Structure formats: C-alpha cells, structure tokens
Amino acid sequence: MTNGADGGAGGGQGRLAARPADGPSSLATADRRRIGNRVIALLAVAAIVALALLPFVSIAPNRIVSGTPAMLWKAAAAPLSLAVAVELAALLGLSLIKPTRTAAALAAVTGALLLVTLVLAAGSSGLLAIAATGAKGTRTGLGAGFWIAVIAAALAVSDALGRLRLGTAARFAAGLALALAVAAIAWSGALDQLSIVREYLTRRDGFTAELARHIALVFGALLPAIAIGGALGALVLRRRTLRGPVFATLNVIQTVPSIALFGLLIGPLTGLSEAWPFLREIGIRGIGYAPAVIALTLYGLLPVARSTEAAFLAVPPAVVDAARGMGMTGGQILRNVSLPLALPILLSGLRIVTIQLIGLAVVAALIGAGGLGTFVFQGLGQTATDLVLLGALSAIGLALLADGLLRSLTAALTGKGITP
C-alpha cells in the first residue's frame, strides 16, 4: 500500500510537474489556433489604433501655417469612414480563421479595398474642408493616422500575395494594378483638394521635367557604372592578387557621404572647365549634371564589381571543365555556359545598384543637377511639408517601379525570381 500510495503520489507529482512544461506550449498552440495569420492581425490592430488615436488629416488656412488635426470620423465623409471600419473589421476577422489560399486571397482583396477607401476618405476630407470654410486657400494635409493605416494596408496586401505563392510577374502586376487604381482616383479629381496634389498641380510641367531629369541622371550613371564596375569585377576574377586593393578603394568611395563627394568634385571640375573651355561647352563644369553623374557612377562601381565577381564565382568549375572538354572555345564557354548561369546574380546586382542610384540622385539637386530632389529641398526651404513629400514619394515610387520591373525581367529570363 505504501508503494501504491507512493506510486500514486509520484504519479500525481509527475502529472503536476508535467503541467508547467506543457502549459506554455499548450497556450501557444491554442493561440496559433485562435490567430490564423498573426501578421495580418498585427497590421489590422496597428491601423485601428492609428486611426483611433492619431489625426487622419490636418486642415490649415494656407500653405505655410500649421494645420489643425482632425480625426477620420470628423474629417471624412460618413459612408467612407464606415467603410474603413467595416474593412478593418473584415481584415481582422480574416486573420483569425484558418490560413488557406482562399483566406489569403480574401485578405489581399480586403487590404486593397481598405487602401483605396483610405485614399478616397482623404480626398473627401479635402472637399469637406473647402466646403466648410469657403476659402479656396484651405489646405488639407495627410496626418499620421492616414499614413500608418495606408502602410498597414499595403503590407497586408503584400503579405497575402506572398502567402498565395504567386510568381514575381503576378505580384508585380497586382501591385501595379493597385497603383493604377489610386492614380485613376487622382486623375478623376477626387484628390485635388489635398495639399500634396495641389503642390503637384501648380508644378505639373516642372514635375514632368524634373522626373525626366531624375531618370536621365540614373541612366547616365548606370551605364558607365556597369561598364567600369563589370571590367573591375572581371579583372579581380583573372588577377586575384588585385582583389584586395580594388575592393578596398571602392569601399573607401562608398564610405564618403554623398553630399561630401558632390562637394569634392566641384573644385576639380571647375578648374578643368576653366583650363579647357571646350569642357564647359559640352556640359562639364563644377555644378550641374556632369559632377552628379560622375559621383553617382563612383557610387555604383562597388555593387556592380561585387556582383560580377560573385556571379562568375558561383558557376560550378566542373561545368566549365565539361564545356572545355567538349571543345568549346573561351568565348563559347562565356556566352553559352558561364553567362547564363551567372545571369540571376548579375541581374540582382543591377537591381540593387539601380535602386541605390535612384535614391542618391535626390541629393544631386543640391549641386544644381535637378531631379526629384529639387522639390525636396525647395520644400525644406519653404517649410512646406507637402512639397517635400511630393519629391520624396515620387522617388520612392520610381524605386519600387524599377524594383518590380527588374524582378519581373529576372523571372522572365531565368525562369525564377529573385529571392527577397
């Protein structure tokens, strides 16, 4: 009996001792069952909290004066506020059900609808503010609540598309369709009373010219960066003793701040243009397009050289030996074996350097090179936040477009996309 009692007590202690160890895992399992998609749940809660606590827009009597914060339900049209609430509740509800492809598809559609509704609600806020004040100079700026909710909706769409396991081109097409929907809303005039849109409308012709200038800066630097950086990558592949000095030099260039590098080029280029006036006639001078392209080219050398080296080192030597054994010449091996195998990494490097140059070209406006950075620095000088946003958001959109196009190009040429 004693043994039995001990055994019973021991069994009881064993069960009691097992509970704390099993408890957290059981609770975690229960949480996973209750929350099917934690990412969507977190994003929906973030959007709800942002819209509940932070201003959706700010309304100011003119362009310079700080605006008065206004919440979503006070600033926007009532049906749109209600639609935002319903879509957020639907998104939160979808995060609680079992994660399936159907649930992911519904989450993608709901997230896209939420984003579009938020944009429409912001546009209605501008129209209602003009109607309430009767002053055409009234400015409606976008508040923190709007931006956080829009970013959460965009991330929810991205997460849902990722769970659907769509191809690179399909995801890019979905993102492009959403961007075109927002552009169509803006084209209809529904957003004309928002301050950022009014900044664009007053500079429509100048915006197109600066956008073209920005693209010209990027391509003007990208082509020589590919040529020189590719040659340096090939050089370190053939002469491995040069690898250290070459990459050390390129690393030093990368560590120089962009504003400092632009400034360092002003003196030498000014001296050269004064010594040889014909250089000034072809556009090479201390400020403007030429020093910006030279600086951007220098920044693009390291990623191009690195990706070239990595791409060709990734080609299996056995494959090259087999091609050589089949009697292929060096040129045939490069064209038919090495280059196709190295292409995914080469395109990945091209994508990285393109996005990097789009961002750096914004700073080039400081030395008179133009581009979208012009609006950023004009806005900073005039304390006009929406003018800053016009330049910054346009540069971000250009970078996202380049990223999507190059990812789709990689998928088309290699049969697989670039792993994020």
Contact 199, 133 (CB under 8 A): no
Positions of CATH 1.10.3720.10 in the chain: 199-414
Copy the structure tokens of residue 154.
Answer: 């965009």
In this prediction, residue 271 carries a pLDDT of: 82
Contact 242, 231 (CB under 8 A): no
Contact 378, 390 (CB under 8 A): no
Contact 150, 85 (CB under 8 A): no
Q: Could you write out the DSSP letters of every residue in 155-205?
A: HHHHHHHHHTT--HHHHHHHHHHHHHHHHHHHHTTTTTTBHHHHHHHHTHH
In this prediction, residue 52 carries a pLDDT of: 95
H or E segment at 68? strand 68-70
Q: Residue 141: left if φ>0, alpha if ψ -120 to 50, beta else—which one?
A: beta
In this prediction, residue 390 carries a pLDDT of: 92
- Per-residue confidence of the chain (420 residues) as pLDDT tens digits? 334 444 444 444 444 444 444 555 555 555 555 667 889 999 999 999 999 999 999 988 877 777 889 999 999 999 999 999 999 999 999 988 888 889 999 999 999 999 999 999 999 998 888 888 777 778 888 999 999 999 999 999 999 998 888 888 888 889 889 999 999 999 998 998 899 999 999 888 899 999 999 999 999 999 999 999 999 999 999 998 999 999 999 999 989 888 888 888 888 888 888 888 777 777 777 788 888 999 999 999 999 999 999 999 999 989 888 988 888 888 889 888 999 999 989 999 999 999 999 999 999 898 888 899 999 999 988 888 889 999 999 999 999 999 989 988 888 887 654 444
In this prediction, residue 34 carries a pLDDT of: 62
Region 199-414: CATH code: 1.10.3720.10
In this prediction, residue 62 carries a pLDDT of: 76
In tens, the pLDDT along 27-69 reads 555 555 566 788 999 999 999 999 999 999 998 887 777 788 9
Q: Rounded to a whole number, what is the largest CA-CA distance in the chain?
A: 111
